[in-house]
Each structure stands twice: as C-alpha cells, then as structure tokens.
Structure 1
Amino acid sequence: MKFSALLSEFLSQPGPAAHLRITALRGSSPREVGAQMFVRDHGICGTIGGGQLEYRAIAAARKMLAAGDVAASLDLPLGPEIGQCCGGRVEILATRMSERDKNKALLDAQADDDALPSVYILGAGHVGRALADQFQHLPVRSVLVDQRREELSLNRAEVETRLSAIPEFEIMTALPGSAFIVLTHDHGLDFLLASAALQRNDAAYVGMIGSATKLAKFRSWSAAQCGDLQADRLICPIGAQGSRDKRPAVIASFVAAEVMAALTSQPATGKDYWDISMRIAGE
C-alpha cells in the first residue's frame, strides 16, 4: 500500500492529529531536515528516525494535543542524555492539524507516490514473481510484464501487471530513471529487451538474469546487432554480490537490494521515499 493510502486511512480516524517535522539539525542524526510523521493519541504514521528521539517527539506531540495547544517545538541532543549516540542535535516542530492541513498533507503524499521511480520486471516466472513480492513492500512503482497470461495469473503481489505481446513497448514508454530487470522465458527475448533498455541511456538500472556465459553471448550479439550499444552497463548476473543460493526468493532479495541501491544513489527529491510505514499503538 502506498503512503498516500496509509496516510488517508490514518487521518480519516476521529480525533485530533499532529504533524511532526524535523526543521533543523546539527551533526549526525537518523533522518534529514524535512523528515516528517503524523501522530494521534493511539497511533503514528511515518517516522522521523525511531529510538528515543522519536519516542520523545511523539510524547511531546500527544501532550500538545491533550492540552489543546496548536504547536510545540523540541530541541533534542542525540547523546547519552536520551540514550542515543548519533552525536548530533535535532529541532522538531509539532503542529495540530486543521482540515486544510490534512488535505494538503494528502495531496503532498499523493504527489510523492506519483513521483516514485518505476521498476519493470520483464518476465513473470518464478523469479519475476518473487521480485514482485519483494518490490510491493518498497517505495517504488512496480510493473510485472509478460506475454503469457497464465504466468501473470500466478502473481499474488500487489503490483501492476501487464499482459504485453510486445514488451519492448513497455520499455520504450517508461519514464526516465526507471529500472529494468529482464528475466523472460526466452534468451533471445532477453537479449532484445536488455538491448532496448540499454539504448534508452537514461535507465537507473538494467539487469538480466543469467551467467557470465550468457553475458558474453549478449555482448557478441549486441556488437553484431546493435553497433555501439554500451553493453558494459548491463548487470548480469543479477544479484551476484549475494549468495550462491538459487531459490527464487533468495535471488529476488539480493536483486531488490541491488536495484534499490541504484535507484537511491542519487539525492532524493521532494519528500523522502522511505516514509511509508504506519504503526498503530499496541500492534
């Protein structure tokens, strides 16, 4: 579930809500300026870093709400005084949310969801479906593509699925900065899709399932078929820095980490993508 949906559910509950935001910091801290979360008497949505920092901020916000105040500010040292060792200092502003504030927060959250990077999983076999299972929990827009209706029907992850007779079209129409993971049922199709993704020159990640031998064959094929294609940008094997365990779920976990590292290697824009957790007191 995307953050906008979580926040909508959270803010629709009865009772007052507070908005917490890190406004300044000095030294090291678990989150950056602008990190935010939302607090009610019996629940929270998002995170400003966890630990004693967040615990004290939540307590201050709830005290503010109970007292009927409209705002409260905190200046917390991240040291032994509060049981943390970051060594920095964080300033936090907590404000009581009006209906207008809630509407703006929801619009901002939807805009952030719309700006999430796309991950195209090209192939809905065992590893492709395992990847969909992984990416459904991450701050990305996942698209599972296959030419085979029966394989797509086996997907249980909450991701977008596309039955496509020409999967190259999905690559051509993807937004800049997308990630492409190629793992179809056919090596020839893998080569076509990998080359199409590389030819875009704006992909954050292009990976193809296979081995060193398959990569060598792809390089020979691309040299003959695609001229000056920069085959060195292709990641193959995918998830190779993980283990030798070839179970789909294990492969998928290492590939997901590899892709997320590529997607987050550039500075994030707008609201931090990682504010997608909602925790309810008592759970």
Structure 2
Amino acid sequence: MNNWISALADLQQQGEACVLVTIIEERGSTPRNAGSKMVVSAGRIFDTIGGGHLEYKAMEIARNMLASGSQHTRLERFSLGASLGQCCGGVNVLLFEPMGQPQAHIAVFGAGHVGRALVPLLASLPCRVRWIDSREAEFPAQLPEGVTQILSEDVIEEVDNLPAGSYCIVMTHNHQLDLELAEAILKRGDFSYFGLIGSKTKRVKFEHRLRDRGFDAAAVQRMRCPMGLTEVKGKLPMEIAVSIAGEVIATYNAHFGEQSTIAEPVAKLLPVSRRSQAQ
C-alpha cells in the first residue's frame, strides 16, 4: 500500500490532479479512525480510509470532482447502516480536498515570436498549456514543463479537442488562419476566454467577416482583440506576452473555482486595450 504523503508529493510533481480524502469525524461502533487519509487520482488510489462501501463511495465522489474540475473543498456526512452496507450504525464525516487541479486549460495557436515569449510565462502558472502550430521548426528544442506541443497540418481541427472552458489564444502567422480559428472557437462557444492578437483595425475587419458568416454581435463581443492589459505597454514580444499573461491571470482569478461554459465576456472584466499588437 502506498503512503498517501509520498503519493501526494509524486502526483503534484507530475502535475496530476487528485483529491485528498480525510475522515475528520467518526462516531459509533465503526472500525475507522478519524484522521485516516487516502489520495484519489483519475486512475489510482493511494492508502486507505478503511475499505468497504464507504471507501468506494468516497472514491466515486472524488473522481466526480476530478471529472468536473471542481476546486472547492467539500464535506460529506455518511450515516452508516443499511444504506452503506454496514451491519452497525455510526456516522463518518469526510473531507474532500482537490489538489493540483489547474486553474486554466490554455490553447496557444501559433509558435511565432510572441508565442515563444508567452508560453514559458503561462507554463509557470497553475495552468496546462497546449501549444499548437503546423510548423515544426518554430517550436523550441525544449518545452517548459506542463506544455504539450501539438504539431498539426490542420490546426482548426484542434479546436474540437479542447476541454470545455478552455482559454484560447490565437496568434498565428496568417490572418486567414486567424479568421478560421476565430470562427471555429466562436462556433463552439464554450470557452472561458478567447484572445486574438492584432490591432483595432484587425478587429473591425474580423467583426465584419464574422457577422457575414452568421455570428451575432454578442458572440463577437466575446472575442478579445486587441488582447492584453492596457497598463502593460510596449511592442516587444516579451512586453506583449506579459500583457497577455496578465489578462489571463485576471480572468481566471475573476472566475476562480468556477467551471462555466457561459462565462461573461472578458470585456466586462477588463479595460479595452488601446494599443496595437505586433504580429
């Protein structure tokens, strides 16, 4: 049996989400000890809280929390008896603590100079990053930990593979590709954030083209372009990257712990950027 402390440390080092389950109260004639702990990941269980149907129910709750991306601590009270297959009465109170759940799943489309400055910043946050481009030579030889490189001839198809509630950042080398990605992201609609690199002029052009393709004003308003915090000025790749990373942080902090597919437009949370961005 693996020790829960070692398991928790290993999972956190690997960046794998898990739930720590603790018996915080035990009453009655049940053979369990308050303070007993187990760690539940998507595919494994480490240590035990005493086995039996209670442990099975705890595992089921923990895995549901992992599947939903919950970041909220949770208390559950179990009255032991026939409902849990026990022959004797009693009460157990269990504490469920999510560990290592990323605050954001981020997709960065484009491995150009701004992308190469941005991705290491995002990788240092409690986020999982998918870095997507069709040009293998644009990716660095070594990727930061927590970043998955996706080399695809058809990057549009990758939009369908994103988890619900993803943060989408579009900064490719091609305006037409940017437009096709914008259409796919807005059509899917279940993102938490969608940022498009470019100037106000680019936004106006894209708004017209997206409306011609059937998108209403409310849908297009969810597109953040120009993206980035107004307070962080400059046109160097790193300056733009810091600005965009700051906007991502502001957005996920505003919705900390929420898993929503109908998040408010980021424009309601942040000031409108007044500067152009380099491509």
Aligned partners of 1:178 and 1:203 also within 8 Å: yes
Matching residue of 2:75: none
Q: 1:262 to 1:104 in 2, by over 3 A?
A: farther
Match of 2:105 among 106, 118, 122: 118
Q: After the TM superposition, which parts of structure 1 deviate over 6 Å for at least 4 consecutive aligned residues?
A: 97-102
Cα distance, 1:156 vs. partner? Answer: 3.7
Aligned partners of 1:194 and 1:207 also within 8 Å: no
Cα distance, 1:269 vs. partner? Answer: 6.3
Match of 2:184 among 192, 196, 201: 196
Match of 2:46 among 91, 103, 127: 103
Distance in 1, matches of 2:138 and 2:7, equals 28
Matching residue of 1:265: 254
Q: Structure 2 length as normaliser, TM-score?
A: 0.57
**AA in 1 matched with 2:174:** D
Distance in 1, matches of 2:120 and 2:213, equals 35
SS at match of 1:256: helix
Cα distance, 1:232 vs. partner? Answer: 1.0
Distance in 2, matches of 1:196 and 1:264, equals 26
Aligned partners of 1:129 and 1:155 also within 8 Å: no
Please give the per-residue CA displacement for 1:64-107, whole angstroms capped at 9, x wherever unaligned: xxxxxxx9xxxxxxxxxxxxxxxxxxxxxxx7x889899369x9
Matching residue of 2:231: 242
Distance in 1, matches of 2:238 and 2:200, equals 21
Matching residue of 1:127: 114
Distance in 1, matches of 2:258 and 2:208, equals 39
Q: 1:175 to 1:10 in 2, by over 3 A?
A: closer
**1:216 matched to 2:204:** yes
Segments of 5+ residues of structure 1 without an aligned counterpart are: 12-18, 24-70, 72-94, 271-283
Cα distance, 1:152 vs. partner? Answer: 1.9
Distance in 1, matches of 2:39 and 2:233, equals 53
Cα distance, 1:128 vs. partner? Answer: 0.8
Match of 1:145 among 127, 132, 148: 132
**1:174 matched to 2:174:** no
SS at match of 1:246: coil
Cα distance, 1:215 vs. partner? Answer: 0.2
Cα distance, 1:177 vs. partner? Answer: 0.6
SS at match of 2:245: helix
Segments of 5+ residues of structure 2 without an aligned counterpart are: 1-5, 14-19, 25-33, 49-58, 67-98, 260-279
Distance in 2, matches of 1:145 and 1:265, equals 26
Please give the per-residue CA displacement for 1:149-206, whole angstroms capped at 9, x wherever unaligned: 1012456423110001111111112111100000000011111112211222211000
- Higher normalized contact order (CA 8 Å, seq sep 6+, divided by chain length): 1
State the identity as a percent: 33
**AA in 2 matched with 1:103:** F
SS at match of 2:46: helix
**AA in 1 matched with 2:126:** P
Aligned partners of 2:102 and 2:126 also within 8 Å: no
Q: How many correspondences in the alignment?
A: 187
